[in-house]
Structure 1
């Protein structure tokens, strides 16, 4: 066969259409963004898918921009006749989070009280969103009624807010996109109703005053007091007090006139109706009788006096006479009044009180002193003896005693053993009998050599005398000092116990001159009944102070004499003990404390405890100074201490004149105490005589009430102040500051010397906060705790930086004196 005809086919290569492109390209876009597709191949159609599948020529034909409202992947191809399909374009899109709108404020307060209500404005920062509304829980607020919208400010109507319940409400602000925003509204209602009517409980009369007491009323911000007379109506209030005060003292009234009172409660909304009405007639006790004189007889005295200048608004119904010592009482309706039952040979003074329906007056000034005497022969009562006026005392250096009999032998005691080592002489000085026992130097030195260290030399004087004196010379005192000997002077009324070292004979010698031989210096220790003018000062002090004298006052004196010069030793470096005998018949339970009476009539407490010796009662008094001493009965109870844990402590310290109240009859036990107040209490508690020197503190002015107590505390090394030279008297005192002062006081009372050695860290270890005790206070805190004067606020908390309350201070001082065996 022949070959076939030739086949001829021509081929060409088709071009590929360009792949589509997307604008914008894939990525995170805002919701609603549109994506435009395009291809570089002219006339090509674009087919795309949105479900992630590969597009074909059968897929949707692109005809316009594609909106993106959620995450999506756009795939597309370009298709054109005569060309191969393009490669697949793939762009993935996600939706960007919409920005949050902002509201300001996000919290607000609304008071439903009518006068405090106000619309609430809220500023919107939309950040591209649209505000769509407000809801309260599931309830939507109504635009135009519950709130308004002006520009970017939403104003919530006060009427809507006023309808909400008190408490916290959240309003939700909604927007077209972004998170909702919450507005927290705290709704309160300070609307206070007009208070109720108080009950006026009592109207108690006083001296030109009436004290009102009423019941508190809830919601009252104050109380108005109204007063009238019987023939008049109530006018404006006489005063208004705060809502925490439920009593009022109406003053400047006329004694003997009846007044009527009502009270109204008040607050910002108005006054209540008037309370029930109470009436009272002010009156007071009479004035004190005057010009009291006493004339003695056998076992009795006739007391004359003049009536008080005022009866206190109520007729005087009688008079009451009281003797001292013995507290023998006689009553009568007019002067004169006879007091019976007195002991012959005992010296008495008398006070008179006037009595009316309000009570007894203060006691009069003391009468002259008289001594009842038995008749020298039988037959009838003697006529009363007219007391001899007491001459005005003159200084000892110029007194001219009457001629005295020659000295006679006198026995003393050395460690309780009778020794004939003294001579006794008597004289009359300024109208008072004086008995002097002079100790023989040679015999005393012999006994001291035998007895050794710590001997007690007793001068027992049983003879009756106004003044009892023990006399030694300076060399004897020095020898006793070297032997640490103690000198005791005993009279029928007191014992004066004086360590020889406390006389400080070297200091006395240096004042008299270094060339003076010690044996030429006379040292006299004295127990004396005060002169009449001093007795009057003591009596007047009792009247002014409102306390009762339960034993005759006594002077305790130590003086050195040489060549017409006299030096009085009035201050010691340690407590010196005095035992004062209580008169027969005195109830020892009615002994409060001993006091020192200064020449100006001021008084101060000195630590005192009652002891029994041979079935007789004595007041054991410890003091750092010499002066005039008396024993008093001064019961005191603060009104606000009832039921308080420190009731007995505070009343005891107040009765002893160690602490004062914050106002009449009120102590305020739980109030914090200032540094100046603490200084005053520690000075009074220790019985320190006030100093008039200058303390080196820049903030303690001479005229301040606390100036002298701060000076005294500084003089006794109880306080040091701060590094800047200040004392800061008005600052509240911290517990560690108080413990530092207490520890220094323990040195004065000698309690510190009695504590066993123990490391401070060991004593403070039970307290978890021991580490915050200031370094300067560590040892003092340990001493105070070891002595049992201060304890922790709890078993594990010392609280050194905490403030100290007034009650805690009273407890500290009482424990200090008790642990020191001073009370």
Structure 2
């Protein structure tokens, strides 16, 4: 612990050194504050309360460190989006300030979840560039933390001083872009969480204070800083990847900047790349060219007709990034076009919104639109391969409103007829400043912002956000434009649609169940589930699509899907469901599936009840699908 605590202290010392300024003190304005506020102060066991740490009117804000304490017997710190338990190195998500990659944000966390301590820090490293803009990030969210309720007992979560942060104001330290410690701001603590019937008693030493003596230096070390290098805004490369920097040539007539790599250099890069869990990765970074409307990466086509995805190539440009697997072009239609000396070109072209029509222009606004295509030996090919997913990232800088609700930033697929539909896998990555998604075909794609809600979900606070996010992304639909009918049971077919969409599962549907017709709206989704082995039906090649799904069947199918998608590797046992009083009602075939989701924290039950044979409501399913969407 001591070494890590010192690392956190040194993070801010480094920040001051990089700023090339002596440590000093700056006084905040009277209206300045840092606050920790919860979305609600009541809940049931298994619920997740979300605490938001926000700074308000902090002039020239450029770095911080905070120490937050809680009772680990009552609450568990978790990722508010995925429900995954915090570890010692988990840095909370959700910040809307100090996130511009152009200024090299450095973050570090040294939590102690067993003792109920969250201690994390972040600062910009490229201070000169940040200060040069003259635009300060004075107000916004610096962290969002989920607290899962473990027992019904009133408790407190608060900022608290620690010996590792001398001079802190109630466990908080803020720094400005001159390297000065900010003082004079208000620290706003959250209300007591009224989780039990007994009134909360202020603890003495029950909530621990870190006793680590490694303190932030009281004076800045004498450091001769290295020349400042402005960080790239491209998403951080993988540690084991091989990187190739490419200088494109601009065709002034077409506005196309073309880069090329030959067989020898690509083979060398593949040899240098180290094998990891996600296969080898070679990064082809095309340098920015002024006045370029499109970027083209040229390479030997034979590198992309392998039998499996033994490696990936990431083509990065200022307009977008595309990551392609080695088997991308191994399709019946394209592989026969590829000769030994064939050349493939990936084209990433910027699209003007004005070219898309009034309706799309209204949806997209001034957000980026790109057109990605594949050309083999000078001929554009229509690529689609269910066995080879392509990952695409589009750089995007949201406005303040969008940052507050970044889960509503979506990706639209625009077809040749100009029709736009949401890509369910589209997510904004705050730490990278990009919108990412996966696809099995290439086309035009746009960034948009959609906030979809329904008139009948107000009383379902525990599922409201989940329903709105999934509906905005096109994962789930309402029962009408204005209603969701959250209390209604869901059918087996409709659940399969949600599951397949949320996990982005694809397959070639060669057959289906006898009671699923090609005319049915769920035909493709049920077919994919059958093809991948998620479901074998109810017997006699039947699926019973219109029957209401039970909670235990929902859990079995979800476990199967998560395994196939590579999202889980653990297996639950009967011991994981022992705490439920109705555990004996779980069918023998469902024990493993139910237990696995309980073990993974995806299903928590209601107190000591898991209700395996009850039907699952639309609201319940939305809450669960939301968890696996972010897993």
Give the TM-score band, short-chain normalised.
0.5 to 0.7
Distance in 1 separating the partners of 2:507 and 2:255: 32
Name which of 350, 353, 367 aligns with 1:529: 350
Residue 762 of structure 1 pairs with residue 575 of structure 2: yes
Name which of 270, 275, 286 aligns with 1:460: 286
Q: 1:493 to 1:768 in 2, by over 3 A?
A: same
The structure with the larger Rg is 1
Distance in 1 separating the partners of 2:368 and 2:620: 35
Query: Does the 8 A contact of 1:743 with 1:783 survive in 2?
Result: yes
Match of 1:491 in 2: 317
Query: Does the 8 A contact of 1:595 with 1:606 survive in 2?
Result: no
| Superposed counterparts of 1:648-687, under 5 Å | 648-687=465-504
Distance in 1 separating the partners of 2:380 and 2:471: 38
Residue 581 of structure 1 pairs with residue 395 of structure 2: yes
Match of 2:248 in 1: 424
Distance in 2 separating the partners of 1:694 and 1:507: 16
Name which of 518, 528, 547 aligns with 1:731: 547
Offset, 1:674: 0.9
Query: Does the 8 A contact of 1:421 with 1:443 survive in 2?
Result: no
SS at match of 2:456: helix
SS at match of 1:469: strand
Q: 1:440 to 1:713 in 2, by over 3 A?
A: same
SS at match of 1:744: helix
Query: Does the 8 A contact of 1:699 with 1:726 survive in 2?
Result: yes
Offset, 1:671: 1.1
Residue 619 of structure 1 pairs with residue 431 of structure 2: no
Distance in 1 separating the partners of 2:320 and 2:249: 20
Q: 1:794 to 1:524 in 2, by over 3 A?
A: farther
Match of 1:138 in 2: none
Residue 777 of structure 1 pairs with residue 602 of structure 2: no
* 1:212-269 residue CA offsets vs partner (Å, 9 max, x unmatched): xxxxxxxxxxxxxxxxxxxxxxxxxxxxxxxxxxxxxxxxxxxxxxxxxxxxxxxxxx
Match of 1:471 in 2: 298
* 1:31-80 residue CA offsets vs partner (Å, 9 max, x unmatched): xxxxxxxxxxxxxxxxxxxxxxxxxxxxxxxxxxxxxxxxxxxxxxxxxx
Match of 1:707 in 2: 523
Distance in 1 separating the partners of 2:370 and 2:335: 30
* 1:596-624 residue CA offsets vs partner (Å, 9 max, x unmatched): 233341513332333345xx832233444
SS at match of 1:676: helix
Distance in 2 separating the partners of 1:788 and 1:502: 35
Offset, 1:812: 1.0
Offset, 1:694: 6.7
Name which of 414, 421, 424 aligns with 1:606: 424
Query: Does the 8 A contact of 1:595 with 1:603 survive in 2?
Result: yes
SS at match of 1:640: coil
Offset, 1:768: 4.5
Query: Does the 8 A contact of 1:508 with 1:567 survive in 2?
Result: no
Distance in 1 separating the partners of 2:525 and 2:254: 37
SS at match of 1:606: coil
Distance in 1 separating the partners of 2:298 and 2:579: 55
| Superposed counterparts of 1:608-647, under 5 Å | 608-612=426-430, 617-644=433-460, 645-647=462-464
Match of 1:435 in 2: 257
SS at match of 2:433: strand
Distance in 2 separating the partners of 1:548 and 1:761: 50
Q: 1:416 to 1:725 in 2, by over 3 A?
A: closer
Distance in 1 separating the partners of 2:577 and 2:614: 16
Distance in 2 separating the partners of 1:618 and 1:419: 20
Query: Does the 8 A contact of 1:640 with 1:667 survive in 2?
Result: yes
Distance in 2 separating the partners of 1:676 and 1:420: 47
Match of 2:623 in 1: 811
Offset, 1:751: 0.9
Match of 1:721 in 2: 537
* 1:473-497 residue CA offsets vs partner (Å, 9 max, x unmatched): 1344479978x54322222222223
Distance in 2 separating the partners of 1:598 and 1:435: 25
| Superposed counterparts of 1:531-610, under 5 Å | 535-536=355-356, 540-541=359-360, 547-549=363-365, 551-558=367-374, 561=376, 567-573=381-387, 576-583=390-397, 587-589=402-404, 591=406, 592=408, 593-600=410-417, 601-610=419-428
Q: Specify every segment of 5 or more residues in structure 1 that has no aligned partner in the other structure, as ranges.
A: 1-412
Q: 1:433 to 1:664 in 2, by over 3 A?
A: same
Q: 1:631 to 1:710 in 2, by over 3 A?
A: same
SS at match of 2:248: strand
Distance in 2 separating the partners of 1:557 and 1:814: 32
Q: Specify every segment of 5 or more residues in structure 2 that has no aligned partner in the other structure, as ranges.
A: 1-236
SS at match of 1:571: coil
Distance in 1 separating the partners of 2:321 and 2:251: 21
TM-score, scaled relative to structure 2: 0.53
Query: Does the 8 A contact of 1:493 with 1:580 survive in 2?
Result: yes
* 1:324-346 residue CA offsets vs partner (Å, 9 max, x unmatched): xxxxxxxxxxxxxxxxxxxxxxx
Offset, 1:672: 0.7
* 1:512-540 residue CA offsets vs partner (Å, 9 max, x unmatched): 47xx43xx23233332234889x526x53
Distance in 1 separating the partners of 2:384 and 2:525: 19
| Superposed counterparts of 1:110-509, under 5 Å | 424-427=248-251, 433-453=255-275, 454-463=280-289, 464-477=291-304, 484-498=310-324, 500-503=325-328, 505=330
Residue 698 of structure 1 pairs with residue 517 of structure 2: no
Match of 1:750 in 2: 566
Query: Does the 8 A contact of 1:606 with 1:622 survive in 2?
Result: no
SS at match of 2:367: strand
SS at match of 2:326: helix
Q: 1:477 to 1:658 in 2, by over 3 A?
A: closer
| Superposed counterparts of 1:31-70, under 5 Å | none
Q: 1:727 to 1:458 in 2, by over 3 A?
A: same
Distance in 2 separating the partners of 1:808 and 1:420: 47
Q: 1:557 to 1:722 in 2, by over 3 A?
A: farther
Distance in 1 separating the partners of 2:456 and 2:238: 53
Identify the structure with the greater strand proportion: 1
Distance in 2 separating the partners of 1:582 and 1:818: 20
Offset, 1:581: 1.6
Offset, 1:651: 1.9
SS at match of 1:791: coil
SS at match of 1:503: coil
TM-score, scaled relative to structure 1: 0.42
SS at match of 2:500: helix
Q: 1:476 to 1:575 in 2, by over 3 A?
A: closer
Q: 1:813 to 1:791 in 2, by over 3 A?
A: same
Distance in 1 separating the partners of 2:589 and 2:416: 41
Q: 1:419 to 1:685 in 2, by over 3 A?
A: closer
Q: 1:424 to 1:602 in 2, by over 3 A?
A: closer
